């Protein structure tokens, strides 16, 4: 095998083929130790299956061959003489890598030789139908390589490419077909993928050139589409045209007969129906105002042909499973056409429909097709339709709201005057009344499961607790919920009528099934807040009464569990109703307490989840005395708490405690609140006191795993209560605090003294107790605003216990949670912790650093915790850092540099964030202190940032890397930096400015690192970076990205992460706008998503 690595002689292509065959030998036989006989592809003699060892050797040899700098010189021999297709693919991938990364540094004669060889080889393999068909897969790879050459050479060094490819296409139909594939790939590279593969200037130039020379390409395509009879050529031309349609000048589409050709010649032909409809869809999605009439004509042309292919009354839902793949693809393409067209041109079509009944009928027929398609049991197809339905009903709702009497519009839906008054309003929704009514039914019947529902029917038909939530279902639910809310606003009465009729059909048994009931109840819960309070009251009372009756009526545990889960889901979604009707709220909560005793899988958990939702949104109602009640209901809950929770599992018990804690947090009278907390925690405290007393008398009982587990559960109960009660929990934590810390120290000593293996179940239990103690203290500190009390009473004993334990523990026993807890506490208490930073660093810094600095893999949790703590100290206690001795500060900074060079993305991001914040902190620090820092660390830091910036493994950090560089470059032009960053005796001009010195330094740095780049190119990059560093962040990042794209290390890779910041910013802005919009639409946000003030708490 090593013979292929001898580059001093000609390549033995036969040996190369045998090595490749060994690499690509598959099948179960490969796992045997004996080689087995196999046929070799393309009749290459006889061969054997490779053993595992031989396959490994082949893989190693091929990888070395790929990496050899002269491997590309063997490509021509492999392509011409190899008998194995995989060998040719490997050769072409080597050549593709060379073109992407080293093309500009090759001598001109070599570039010309490669180009001419590839052109000749492409022509040779596509010269006639037989050759084209035989080599279709190979040509796909050859075309890609040719397009990579084009990206480097065209137009400057190959200005005649477009005329050449058009001319050659007219000489031979097979050649023309392959040329279409080349043009398609070129279009994709320039218009679809250029943003992350080329510099912005180069991409712009190529786009302009392609548009300028498109006339010849279009003429070729047009001629083929008008005259050609060869099926594969027509298909290739249509596929190529499809890639062109989103960027070509519009005149080629609307000022020619292209649309007519597509519709009349190809759309009606089954062989071309799908690809031609895709082309028409691409045109339909164009958004330009000057061609509205043309778009209306386009729509009518397409719709005139559809009924013959797919009759409007076809029951797609019933026929879907027996429909051919090609016809299913057609239905999906039809959905895409209709949604694209309606999404871009619905209003011009509606305007035309007002004056023309035929166009109106066509418009409504298109929507009937979409309604029909929406009923098909195919999630991806449904999502295509749903996106449009959401857009349509959203626009109709906005128009309704903008109507002068929009405030009254929802009320009109409640009475008989709706039809006589609202029906005469000039509203678009009136045209779609029948469509929207059908849509409401479909949305209900297609409704997917909300996140809150955890009692489900599994694939075997059993009712069980859901184990794994599907993120796709959650996203789909949100979109469906949005559509349902809009549909409700557009006609409340119709939505109520449909839901009530479907509920009656459940109760009567006409439509009874678990699936139907679930979907209906999920839909009912999803429109919470979309009705007026009066309508909601009437509707919800009916729904709950019917469901409670259904629960009593149905026999069997599974039936009752399904109905119960739906009752709980619905009541959890209507806190506004519950707040306004105390008796109903009390009845619902009592029913939840009953469900908490129900042992059917998932029912208890859902009861607790619903209880906590109600507690969060209705908390005040439980701590005030209601009409006809003798005391606030919280008193009754606390008295009967043990009976309510006796059947709950531990996690559910903690949910219950958190829920009751929310109620207690609503009590504003301090003495009453303290009394409620004492009563609330009474049972937990009695158990705590008992176990702590026993532990004092018998320390060895902490060796009993059951005792440790019980103590852990008691602490977790306190955590649950602290989360919801907040700062008022001080009375409880003060009661048990010293015992908590004593337990923490005792458990730590047990682990240290015994030197027991840190991963045994016994030790894991002990370490869990330590984590729970820290979590409780951290939770309380995060909730309280009484920082002086915390600093005086909580922090001193905590630091004494925790730091001493961490320092004395062996490495495997050091808890990473200590580091994250300290970081979170510093984030909360901020500068109040300044004086404690030295003792914290003394205890945790060096010993933790020694655990994680040996490699990039061990102790991953400690790494995150360590650098999170460093970030907290830098951000909130910076003065304490400045007081560190110089050696310790250097060690601190070195650790941060090591962090941003880390291969774990979260660690690297933490390190970059810390550096960015540190530079910001020094810019506000005492000038003398800042000057000393810059003189000592500026240049080494700059070099380290460039190291990660140009490292392919660190592309994800581009956002922060660029901000750091921008900050450092702008700093040297700042008057605040008054000291030189260089030794005047070591530079050519002792009087040069810092800015000039750093420019020269960066140019030398880059030239040494990337010798294949020209000096003028590097000078241009550096000057561009410095000129934009002060006040043009977008241009700075563009310059930096363009530089990275030109580097060998980046040009062959996926550069999408260089644009991650823009995508994240765009998503964040979109999220904010959607949230703001949703807040203004009643019912658009779930009650759990609304701020408490919006719920009246």
In this structure, how many other beta carbons lie within 10 angstroms of the beta carbon of residue 428? 15
- Positive or negative, the CA dihedral 7, 9, 13, 15 is negative
In the chain, count H helices and then E strands. 54, 4
Rounded CA-CA distance 579/618 in Å is 6
Rounded CA-CA distance 816/797 in Å is 20
Locate all alpha helices (DSSP H) within 904-1014, ordered by sequence.
Answer: 905-923, 927-949, 958-971, 994-1009
pLDDT at position 783 is 96
Rounded percentage of the chain residues whose pLDDT exceeds 90 = 70
What does DSSP say about strands 37-39 and 46-48: parallel, antiparallel, or unpaired?
Answer: antiparallel
Q: Any idea what the Cα angle at residue 191 is, between residues 190 and 195, rounded to 5°?
A: 80
pLDDT at position 201 is 79
Question: For 370-422, what is each residue's pLDDT tens digit?
Answer: 999 999 999 999 999 999 999 999 999 999 998 765 444 443 444 333 434 44
Per-residue pLDDT band for 977 (boundaries 50, 70, 90) equals confident
Q: Any idea what the Cα angle at residue 984 is, between residues 980 and 986, rounded to 5°?
A: 125
Least confident of 293-297, 441-445, 734-738, 1076-1080: 1076-1080
Question: For 825-856, what is each residue's pLDDT tens digit?
Answer: 999 999 999 999 999 999 999 999 999 988 88
In this structure, how many other beta carbons lie within 10 angstroms of the beta carbon of residue 939? 17
pLDDT at position 440 is 98
Question: For 328-375, what is each residue's pLDDT tens digit?
Answer: 999 999 999 999 999 999 999 999 999 999 999 999 999 999 999 999
423 preceded by cis ω (within 30°)?
Answer: no
pLDDT at position 422 is 46
Q: Are 727 and 667 in contact (CB under 8 A)?
A: no
Q: What is the 3-state secondary structure (H, E, C) of 942-964?
A: HHHHHHHHCCHHHHHHHHHHHHH
Rounded percentage of the chain residues whose pLDDT exceeds 70 = 91
pLDDT at position 418 is 42
Q: Which of 944, 967, 959, 941 is nearest to 1029 (CA)?
A: 967
Q: Is the pLDDT of residue 46 over 60?
A: no
| Helix 994-1009 with 1015-1028: angle, nearest 10 deg | 140
Q: Which of 466, 662, 674 is nearest to 561 (CA)?
A: 466
Q: Which of 940, 945, 951 is nearest to 966 (CA)?
A: 945
Q: Are 824 and 790 in contact (CB under 8 A)?
A: no
Question: For 690-744, what is each residue's pLDDT tens digit?
Answer: 999 998 888 888 888 899 999 999 999 999 999 999 999 999 999 999 999 999 9
Q: Which of 948, 937, 837 is nearest to 891 (CA)?
A: 937
Query: Residue 690: which residues within 8 A CB-CB, separation 6 or more?
Result: none
Q: Are 585 and 614 in contact (CB under 8 A)?
A: yes
The DSSP string of 382-404 is HHHHHHHHHHHHHHHHHHHHHST
Q: Which of 432, 431, 470, 436 is nearest to 450 (CA)?
A: 470
Question: For 760-816, what is each residue's pLDDT tens digit?
Answer: 778 888 899 999 999 999 999 999 999 999 999 999 999 999 999 999 998 888 999
Question: For 54-77, what is each residue's pLDDT tens digit?
Answer: 888 889 999 999 999 999 999 999
pLDDT at position 764 is 85
Q: Which of 208, 152, 133, 150 is nearest to 184 (CA)?
A: 150
Is the model more confident about 1090 or about 486?
A: 486
What's the pTM value of the predicted model, to 2 decimals? 0.80
Rounded CA-CA distance 1006/715 in Å is 57
Q: Which of 156, 137, 154, 135 is nearest to 146 (CA)?
A: 154
Rounded CA-CA distance 336/348 in Å is 19
Per-residue pLDDT band for 641 (boundaries 50, 70, 90) equals very high
Per-residue pLDDT band for 755 (boundaries 50, 70, 90) equals low
pLDDT at position 42 is 39
pLDDT at position 835 is 96
Rounded CA-CA distance 286/258 in Å is 15
Distances (CA, A) of 604 to 456, 518, 631, 723: 14, 18, 27, 21
pLDDT at position 424 is 53
H or E stretch at 823: helix 816-829
Average model confidence (pLDDT) across the chain: 89
Least confident of 15-24, 26-35, 874-883: 26-35
pLDDT at position 462 is 63
pLDDT at position 233 is 97
pLDDT at position 887 is 93
Q: Are 295 and 275 in contact (CB under 8 A)?
A: no
Q: Are 815 and 806 in contact (CB under 8 A)?
A: yes
Q: Is the pLDDT of residue 518 over 70?
A: yes
The DSSP string of 22-40 is HHT--SGGGGSSS--EEEP
Question: For 190-203, what is each residue's pLDDT tens digit?
Answer: 988 766 677 777 88
| Helix 670-680 with 705-725: angle, nearest 10 deg | 160
Question: For 996-1017, what is each residue's pLDDT tens digit?
Answer: 999 999 999 999 988 878 888 8
pLDDT at position 1013 is 80
């Amino acid at each position: 095998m090593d013979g292929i690595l001898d580059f001093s002689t000609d390549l033995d292509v036969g040996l190369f083929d045998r090595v490749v065959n060994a690499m690509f030998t598959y099948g179960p036989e490969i796992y045997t130790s004996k080689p087995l006989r196999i046929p070799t592809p393309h009749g290459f003699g006889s061969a054997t299956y490779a053993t595992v060892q031989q396959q490994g050797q082949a893989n190693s040899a091929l990888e070395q061959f790929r990496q050899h700098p002269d491997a590309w010189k063997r490509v021509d021999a492999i392509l011409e003489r190899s008998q194995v297709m995989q060998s040719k693919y490997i050769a072409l991938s080597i050549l593709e890598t060379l073109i992407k990364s080293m093309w500009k540094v090759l001598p001109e004669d070599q570039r010309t030789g490669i180009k001419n060889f590839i052109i000749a080889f492409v022509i040779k393999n596509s010269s006639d139908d037989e050759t084209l068909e035989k080599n279709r897969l190979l040509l796909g790879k050859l075309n890609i390589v040719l397009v990579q050459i084009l990206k480097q050479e065209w137009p400057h060094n190959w200005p005649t490419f477009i005329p050449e490819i058009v001319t050659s296409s007219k000489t031979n139909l097979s050649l023309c077909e392959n040329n279409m594939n080349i043009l398609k790939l070129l279009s994709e590279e320039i218009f679809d993928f250029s943003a992350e593969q080329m510099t912005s200037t180069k991409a712009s130039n190529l786009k302009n050139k392609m548009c300028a020379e498109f006339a010849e390409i279009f003429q070729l395509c047009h001629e083929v589409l008008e005259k050609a009879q060869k099926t594969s050529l027509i298909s290739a031309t249509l596929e190529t045209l499809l890639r062109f349609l989103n960027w070509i000048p519009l005149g080629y589409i609307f000022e020619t007969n292209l649309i007519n050709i597509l519709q009349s010649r190809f759309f009606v032909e089954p062989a071309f129906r799908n690809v031609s409809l895709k082309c028409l869809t691409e045109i339909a999605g164009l958004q330009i105002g000057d061609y509205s009439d043309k778009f209306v004509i386009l729509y009518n042309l397409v719709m005139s042909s559809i009924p013959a292919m797919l009759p409007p009354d076809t029951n797609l839902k019933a026929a879907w499973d027996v429909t051919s793949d090609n016809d299913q693809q057609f239905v999906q393409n039809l959905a895409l056409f209709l949604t694209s067209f309606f999404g871009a041109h619905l209003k011009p079509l509606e305007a035309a429909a007002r004056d023309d009944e035929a166009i109106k009928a066509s418009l409504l027929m298109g929507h009937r097709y979409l309604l029909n398609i929406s009923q098909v049991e195919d999630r991806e197809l449904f999502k295509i339709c749903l996106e449009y339905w959401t857009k349509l009903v959203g626009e109709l709702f906005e128009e309704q709201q903008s109507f002068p009497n929009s405030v009254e519009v929802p009320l009109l839906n409640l009475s008989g005057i709706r039809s006589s008054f609202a029906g005469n309003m000039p509203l678009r929704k009136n045209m779609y009344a029948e469509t929207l009514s059908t849509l409401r039914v479909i949305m209900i019947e297609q409704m997917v499961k909300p996140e809150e529902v955890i009692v489900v029917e599994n694939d075997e038909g059993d009712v069980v607790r859901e184990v794994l939530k599907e993120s796709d279902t959650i996203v789909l639910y949100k979109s469906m919920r949005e559509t349902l809310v809009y549909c409700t606003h557009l006609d409340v009465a119709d939505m109520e009528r449909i839901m009530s009729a479907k509920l009656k059909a459940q109760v009567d048994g006409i439509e009874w099934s678990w699936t139907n009931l679930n979907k209906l109840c999920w839909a009912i819960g999803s429109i919470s807040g979309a009705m007026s309070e009066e309508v909601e009251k009437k509707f919800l009372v009916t729904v709950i009464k019917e469901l409670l009756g259904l629960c009593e009526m149905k026999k069997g545990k599974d039936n009752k569990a399904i109905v119960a889960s739906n009752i709980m889901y619905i009541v959890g979604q209507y806190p506004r109703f519950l707040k306004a009707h105390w008796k109903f709220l009390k009845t619902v909560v009592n029913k939840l307490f009953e469900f908490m005793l129900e042992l059917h899988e998932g029912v208890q958990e859902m009861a607790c989840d619903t209880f906590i939702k109600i507690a969060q949104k209705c908390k005040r109602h439980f701590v005030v005395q209601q009409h006809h009640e003798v005391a606030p209901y919280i008193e009754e809950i606390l008295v009967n708490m043990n009976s309510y929770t006796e059947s709950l599992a531990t996690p559910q018990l903690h949910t219950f405690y958190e829920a009751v804690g929310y109620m207690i947090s609503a009590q504003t009278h301090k003495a009453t609140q303290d009394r409620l907390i004492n009563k609330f925690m009474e049972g937990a405290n009695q158990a705590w006191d008992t176990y702590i007393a026993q532990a004092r008398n018998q320390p060895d009982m902490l060796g009993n795993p059951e005792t440790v587990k019980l103590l852990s559960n008691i602490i977790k109960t306190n955590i649950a209560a602290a989360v919801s009660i907040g700062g008022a929990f001080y009375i409880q934590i003060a009661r048990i605090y010293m015992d908590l810390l004593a337990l923490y120290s005792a458990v730590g000593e047990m682990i240290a003294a015994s030197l027991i293996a840190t991963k045994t179940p016994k030790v894991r239990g002990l370490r869990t107790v330590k984590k729970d103690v820290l979590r409780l203290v951290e939770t309380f500190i995060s909730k309280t605003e009484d920082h002086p009390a915390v600093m005086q009473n909580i922090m001193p004993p905590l630091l004494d216990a925790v730091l001493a334990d961490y320092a004395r523990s062996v490495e495997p026993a050091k808890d990473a949670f200590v580091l994250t807890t300290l970081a979170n506490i510093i984030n909360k208490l901020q500068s109040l912790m300044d004086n404690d930073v030295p003792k914290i660093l003394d205890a945790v810094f060096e010993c933790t650093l020694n655990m994680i600095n040996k490699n990039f893999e061990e102790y991953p949790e400690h790494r995150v915790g360590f650098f999170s703590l460093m970030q907290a100290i830098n951000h909130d206690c910076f003065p304490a850092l400045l007081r560190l001795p110089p050696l310790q500060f250097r060690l601190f900074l070195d650790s941060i540099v090591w962090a941003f060079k880390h291969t774990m993305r979260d660690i690297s991001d933490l390190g970059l964030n810390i550096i960015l914040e540190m530079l910001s902190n020094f810019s506000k620090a005492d000038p003398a202190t800042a000057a000393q820092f810059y003189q000592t660390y500026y240049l080494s830091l700059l070099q380290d940032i460039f190291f990660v910036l140009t490292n392919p493994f660190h592309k994800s950090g581009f956002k922060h890397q660029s901000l750091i560089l921008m900050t450092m470059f702008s700093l040297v032009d700042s008057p605040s930096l008054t000291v030189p960053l260089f030794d005047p005796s070591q530079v050519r001009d002792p009087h040069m400015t810092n800015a000039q010195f750093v420019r020269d330094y960066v140019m030398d740095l880059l030239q040494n690192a990337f010798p294949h780049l020209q000096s003028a190119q590097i000078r241009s990059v550096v000057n561009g970076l410095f000129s934009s560093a002060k006040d043009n962040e977008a241009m700075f990042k563009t310059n930096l990205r363009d530089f990275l794209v030109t580097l060998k290390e980046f040009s062959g890779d996926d550069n999408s992460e260089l644009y991650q910041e823009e995508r994240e910013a765009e998503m964040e802005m979109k999220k904010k706008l959607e949230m703001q919009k949703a807040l203004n639409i009643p019912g658009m946000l779930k009650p759990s998503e609304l701020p408490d003030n919006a719920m009246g708490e």
